[in-house]
Chain A
Amino acid sequence: MTGTGGEERPRGRAPYLLALPTWVILGVFFLVPLVLVLVVSFAERGTYGGIKPIENLTTHITSGAFLGNYLRSFDPLYLKIFWRSLWLAVVTTLACLVISYPIAYWIAVLAPARFKNLLLGLVVVPFWTSFLIRTYAWMLILRSEGLVNTVLTSLGLISQPLDLLYHEPAVLLGLIYGELPFMILPLYASLEKLDLSLIDAAQDLGASPVASFFRVTVPMTMPGILAGVVLVFIPSLGQFVVSDLLGGAKSVLVGNLIQNQFSVARNKPFGAALAFELMAVVLLLLLLYAYHARKSGKETLL
């Protein structure tokens, strides 16, 4: 919770009224459906897809069959896939943060005030075109006779076209590209209220620009950083279309795995179990962080 801010407000009904629409929407249209899927995750696949009717609930539970999908997911094959997805998501998040902070700072602090909204528009508008068509455009840029290779060859920088497409760097590029606005915008919202007089004060007191950046600017914008990290890291953990198109579909990510269970494999129970495990892992990470942050008295979103 906010560490500063003086005395507690009289509570009254205000927070409940403010949260009520969210509770209603997410309660009815998210939690209730989610429970349906949770139940499915304890079932078994029917012979031709669908869900096998449970004949005897007691034996289904006592025999441990209801955990079958969860146990199956601990196969090294699936653990390997999970690690790879996690790794890609971490790299994507870090890269997005490093790329986004300077531009968010520039838009929020340095650019003329009247152009701010225009610049924000320039950040998001590319993402209002179809994801698929944008990814196809990246394929055109990266392919062996594509834009990048043509330019580099004509500049005489390379003699052989670089093999860019259908490899891991292309996947990372696609992931970072797709998630950038989800880092830039929260950072912007946080940087926009940066109190420059504090930075002045720090520098007046003899702090170097680097020190004042890490000691003053970063801590003050920590809420924005955390929001951006959350909004990039979590969705990129479930991404898979980018890696299919730009990576040549030569690897499997958690997203593919779950998607396949809901489509070709027609194994909803297993897909649901995988999704809930993913959810549990991410929630655990968030809670661990919140616990740690609260203990050390830092600003936290949770």
Chain B
Amino acid sequence: MKHRALAALALASLALLASACSRPAPTADSAPAAPAATGKLNLYIWSAYLPQDVIDDFTKRTGIAVNVDLYDSNEALLEKLQSGVAGYDLVFPSDYMVRTLITEKLIQPLDHGQLPLLAKHYDPRLLDQKFDPKNRHSVPYVWGTTGLGWNKAKVTATVDSWSVLFDPANKGRILMLDDMREAFAVALKSMGKSLNERDPAVLAQAAEKLKAQKKLVKTYNSGDFANILAAGDVDFAHGYNGQIAEAVAAAPDTLAYILPKEGGTIWLDSVCLTTAAQNVASAYAFLNFIMEPEINARIVNGTHYASANLAAKPLIDPKITADPAIYPSDEVIDRCEFLEDLGELTTKLDEYWTEIKAE
């Protein structure tokens, strides 16, 4: 049989591959709960959230080797943890996802006795939120808002309201985030409603509003919105503050970012310890490390995202703390809401969103 040798070869390579894959399995099963220092730590985190020199210093001080893997959405994070074979210790979910991860028992309660800096340094306004009462499962990491970037060179009128995104005069000059919940948040806020509105009639109205708006929108985009605004392809961009703040800093004469007077979304990404974590002691060491004001300030300087650590604030580059797009005033924060999981209504919203897009 002339092909037998080849087939055997292929089988052998397969077997090799299979054994290579299954090798780590035993460690996954034998979860040693004893918080002995393992010398390792596996992080699953958003991109550009943790400067390399902070990681290096942590390893230098503790001898713990840090492994960093990246994800691009809260849903991807959820999927990974649900598989039960991911192997990550610390994860960085956003507000509503913290709630989901708690419900699904994918993250474990934190021992606050081991985290003395949390109560000491952190902004009480960002602690004890609905998604995690008393912060039993999460330590705030960085936070931001979703607002409106606009081009001062091309727009003469004052911009202070979401209504510009629904004004027919701005046809073809508008960018909206390609994100169902954020788009509905804009519509609901401009109707004077909560962005977690659950009244079906109001949601239907919001959907109509977004459907009518579609004719005015040049593009829906969640990744490149700041670049598209900076290039002058649109004059109004609905977007997350981080990227727009950077664009504004690069062109302060032409661009601006505001949180419209009706209010908008605030988001807070937290650090959580997975239920399956195998390097618990390392995880606590890391949490305490990043909560130190000096280290925390370096994270903010490196990422340009606001931290909830008040003690770190004086140590942060004043250009960042003075930037209203990154550190908005208390009055602005008061106008913002966290997104909540809407449960069964999510399916209805998804149908509306599909209808809007398929129009």
Contacts and interface: CB of A to CB of B under 8 A. Distances in A.
A248 B221 contact: yes
B204 interface: no
A262 B220 CA distance: 20
B157 interface: no
Contact of A77 (B1, B2, B232, B358): B358
A136 to B, nearest CB: 7
A117 interface: no
A270 B347 CA distance: 10
Given A48-B103, A166-B218, A249-B219, A14 B3 contact: yes
A255 to B, nearest CB: 12
A17 B4 contact: yes
Interface stretch (B144-152, B260-268, B281-289, B338-346): B338-346
A265 B346 contact: yes
B214 interface: yes
Interface string A80-93: 11000000000000
Contacts of B14: 21, 24-25
Contacts, number: 108
B136 interface: no
A266 B358 contact: no
A260 interface: yes
Given A13-B1, A17-B7, A144-B233, A248 B217 contact: yes
A267 B350 contact: yes
A139 B233 CA distance: 11
Nearest to A140: B231
Nearest to A249: B220
Contacts of A12: 1
A263 interface: yes
A50 interface: yes
How many chain A residues sit at the interface, stated as a range, is 35 or more
B160 interface: no
A166 B11 contact: no
Tell me the dominant secondary structure on chain B's binding face.
Answer: helix
A47 interface: yes
A251 interface: yes
A257 interface: yes
B357 interface: yes
B11 A265 contact: no
A264 B221 contact: no
Given A24-B11, A47-B344, A50-B104, A260 B219 contact: no
B357 A49 contact: no
Given A21-B10, A81-B358, A145-B232, A264 B1 contact: no
Contacts of A48: 100, 103, 341, 343
Contacts of A248: 217-221
Nearest to A143: B233
A270 B220 CA distance: 24
B178 interface: yes
B211 to A, nearest CB: 12
A41 B278 CA distance: 34
B208 interface: no
B67 interface: no
Nearest to A20: B7
B75 interface: yes
Contact of B358 (A252, A263, A270): A252
B137 interface: no
B62 interface: no
A256 B220 CA distance: 13
A77 B218 CA distance: 23
Contact of B75 (A77, A263, A270): A263
Nearest to A132: B223
Nearest to B7: A17
A119 to B, nearest CB: 29
Nearest to B227: A136
Interface of A: 12-14, 17-18, 20-21, 24-25, 45, 47-50, 77-78, 80-81, 136, 139, 143-145, 165-166, 244-245, 248-252, 256-257, 260-267, 270
Given A248-B217, A264-B75, 7 more contacts: A49-B78, A136-B224, A143-B231, A143-B233, A166-B219, A248-B220, A252-B354
21 contacts: A13-B4, A14-B1, A17-B4, A20-B11, A77-B355, A78-B354, A143-B231, A248-B220, A249-B220, A250-B214, A250-B217, A250-B220, A251-B358, A252-B357, A257-B354, A260-B180, A260-B350, A262-B75, A264-B180, A264-B181, A264-B346
Listed from nearest, the 3 A-B pairs whose CB atoms lie closest are: A248-B219, A249-B220, A265-B350
